[in-house]
Chains A and B, each alone.
Chain A
């Protein structure tokens, strides 16, 4: 089949590289390079205030600025702390709700599971801007839906313009985010639960376990890897995707008074600037690098600490 003068099959397997090239190229240029370059930029600064100055290597000076200059430290610690609150709430509220709903949906005798699934996933599909605004309207004192509803069940005094109050804005936004994004861990848990072999569950029934116990003693241990995955995805998502909702509801300054500022909005302001704040590419890169390290620490802890113990059981 091959002419005598072509080299032996070991070399010239062009197709391998053809298959690999497009993905590797795009990924390297538009994902890896920018991250590396951002890290690099954080080690430089611009001489001269206007955009004509040359870049100069300053080592970790930008990082020092981030952690010593009050202007930066305050914003950073505020944003970081808020992010942790966000993460904790998603972890302790969103994921258990998703797990419970998934557990209920995966019981084989449930009628209408498909309909419920469709409904539960709907908010996740919506644009975050739409979601943010819908809830702004609903919670708005002007429209009056929420105050009326609370009045109807006798909790009228409870109402406050939560989104506009420093003390409650973060929690409120987080709840909105949970409302929207419960669908994703829900689907992952659901798929994981469905993967538990049918016959193992029947064996458990014969062994005397009922619905709740089957979930607790058989299904849950077997979906621990999924739990780990969901947790780490929640972690990563919280530090990055949280920007979208907060920006569209509270604006770039993440008011009121920075109480909803998270790493994402902080990063955005740092290198883009916002209203009175000047943008600074190098400080922006520095913040981005910090964000990178924060994520890396979390992922590292997951991969080496948790992942090892959650071996898969096949």
Chain B
């Protein structure tokens, strides 16, 4: 590398490192301090927990006193099932739109994709009425249905863009072999869309997992709280006990962090490999 190249490379890395510090610092701070006693938190916030300042009291308070596993489980169920339905129904619809010719194909396609541009929250007023009428208030089912409806447009869009670029031949050869259209979908098309499944999953998953609005409005009951809502209420309770608050935050972060680190490569590959069309 020429000296000029080395200089600009260092400068670039400096910028990247600066932002990395900015991105990580708050998280590191919280986790470090969650293991400290109150004195340690206030006197020396930036120091690692030492022999004097170490304390697990915060965690004890959190883990014994709360319904975190429940909240977490709720979030998992809601996100997992919604994601599954979004992927399945989205792929089915995209397959029908891109593969078969029928009257109203274009129109239906536009109708389904419309939802990307129009956020579902606008209909919340009527949505709540509908949920209540269907007797689904304070259920996870309500959340699942709403999130599925919210995530379908972009799933249909990404899947159909992708499927359109795949040749018909492999499906035609399956037809010649006598497979029904359903079997073709499950055994030929689904494996074909694997590259974009990760993209759709990422785009859909994050808004669902982090959402505060719908759990707050549709299912605020104690049994059906998601982790986001749960943490929010919980923090309200523990306003003065810093150790517990920090521990709660760490507990909230940790599972996501762990899953992310494990799956980060697939995640990023999904985003960058998928059809990011303008």
Contact = CB atoms under 8 A, between A and B. Distances in A.
A277 to B, nearest CB: 16
Interface in B240-254: 242, 245-246, 249, 252-253
Contacts of B42: 143-144
A122 B254 CA distance: 12
Interface string A263-282: 01001100110000000010
B253 A104 contact: no
B272 A19 contact: no
Contacts of B122: 35, 38, 240, 288-289, 291-292, 295
B206 interface: yes
B69 interface: no
A127 B100 CA distance: 41
Interface in B101-118: 102, 108, 112, 115, 117-118
A134 B248 CA distance: 11
A16 B260 contact: no
A147 B233 CA distance: 28
Contacts of A271: 124-125
Chain B at the A interface: SS class: helix
A22 interface: yes
A110 B115 contact: no
Interface residues of B, number: 93
Nearest to B271: A187
B146 interface: yes
Given A34-B126, A191-B272, A23 B156 contact: yes
Given A13-B100, A26-B89, A291-B122, A236 B150 contact: no
B26 interface: yes
Interface in B207-245: 207, 209-213, 216-217, 227-229, 231-232, 235, 242, 245
Contacts of A33: 123, 126, 130
Given A20-B96, A114-B265, A137-B30, A187 B272 contact: yes
Given A138-B26, A285-B126, A247 B45 contact: no
A242 to B, nearest CB: 11
Interface string A132-144: 0111011000011
B188 interface: no
A187 B274 CA distance: 11
Nearest to B25: A138
A23 B152 contact: yes
Interface stretch (B8-16, B49-57, B60-68, B166-174): B8-16
Interface stretch (A59-67, A81-89, A157-165, A225-233): A225-233
A22 B89 contact: yes
A206 to B, nearest CB: 17
Nearest to A118: B264
Given A19-B185, A23-B90, A41-B125, A127 B274 contact: no
B149 A133 contact: no
Contact of A30 (B41, B149, B227): B149
Contacts of B181: 15
B277 to A, nearest CB: 7
B130 A34 contact: yes
A15 B210 contact: no
Contacts of A72: none
A130 interface: yes
19 contacts: A13-B102, A15-B180, A19-B92, A20-B96, A22-B85, A23-B90, A26-B148, A31-B123, A33-B123, A38-B122, A41-B126, A124-B206, A126-B27, A129-B232, A138-B26, A143-B45, A243-B121, A248-B232, A289-B122
Interface of A: 1, 13, 15-16, 18-20, 22-24, 26-27, 29-38, 40-41, 97, 100-101, 104-105, 107, 109-110, 114, 116-130, 133-135, 137-138, 143-145, 148, 179, 187-188, 190-192, 194-195, 211, 224-226, 228-229, 232, 236, 239-241, 243-244, 247-248, 264, 267-268, 271-272, 281, 284-285, 288-289, 291-292, 295-296, 299, 310, 312
The 8 A-B pairs of least Cβ separation, nearest first, read A225-B278, A34-B123, A37-B126, A30-B149, A35-B123, A19-B96, A23-B93, A31-B149
